[in-house]
Amino acid sequence: MTINQTTQTDPGARARVVKLGLDIHSSLIVVVLPIDAELAALTDQLQAAAPAEPPCCLGAMTWELLRREVGDWGRFHNRRQVASYTGLCPSEHSSGHSRQQGSITRHGNPRIRHLLVEAAWRLMRHQPDYHAVAKWREALLAASPARRKKILVAIARQLAVDLWRLATRRANAQQLGFATT
């Protein structure tokens, strides 16, 4: 039997259904309002803790995503640890006196690796004087598309190290060669 059929046979049924709905609504309001207040407080804390503006080489979204994925930049003690965490360091095949470096290991965080490679593509266009881009400029101009991607991975690795230096205050943007405007 539907509600309409019930209300036709029992005139007080509609009032009881409405009262039940209002009771459920008021019960939910009692639960939801404190959660909304807590969410607002946590949002304010996050916004207060965020840096005033991202590093000049990145957009706000990219910087925030990197910051959240990495967590504490201070946990890395050197640039090799940063590169290893991102998975942008080369693999190595060594025996005796021979040493061969291969493709990147990809053992790190894939989201960070993706963000860094995308940022490296943007650096090529918007920060042509960044030291890693300037170092590889000639090779980039003459490179095939496949070679260009490999060069971009090298720039992304350097970008990861430089972002670590910025985040841990080991250097400022000017020292790392980022344009300030």
Report if residue 181 sits inside a domain: no
Q: What is the mean pLDDT of residues 71-87?
A: 91
One-letter amino acid identity for 39? L
Judge contact between 72 and 85, C-beta under 8 A. no
User: Bridge partners of 90?
Assistant: 104
Q: At 98, phi and psi to the nearest 5?
A: -90, 145
Question: Tens digits of per-residue pLDDT, 22-77?
Answer: 888 888 888 888 888 898 888 787 667 655 566 767 887 888 889 889 989 999 99
Same domain, 88 and 32: no
At 159, the pLDDT band (50, 70, 90 cuts) reads very high
Mean pLDDT of 95-106: 82
Task: Name, in order, each residue with C-beta under 8 angstroms of 93's C-beta and a sequence gap of 6 or more.
Answer: 99, 100, 101, 102
Higher-confidence position of 9 and 12: 12
Q: Which domain holds residue 131?
A: 60-176
Beta bridge mates, 80: none
Residue 55 inside a domain? The answer is no
What residues are paired with 104 via a beta bridge? Answer: 90
Contact predicate 149/72, CB 8 Å: no
Give yes or no: residues 36 and 121 share one domain.
no
- Whether 110 is in a domain gets the answer yes
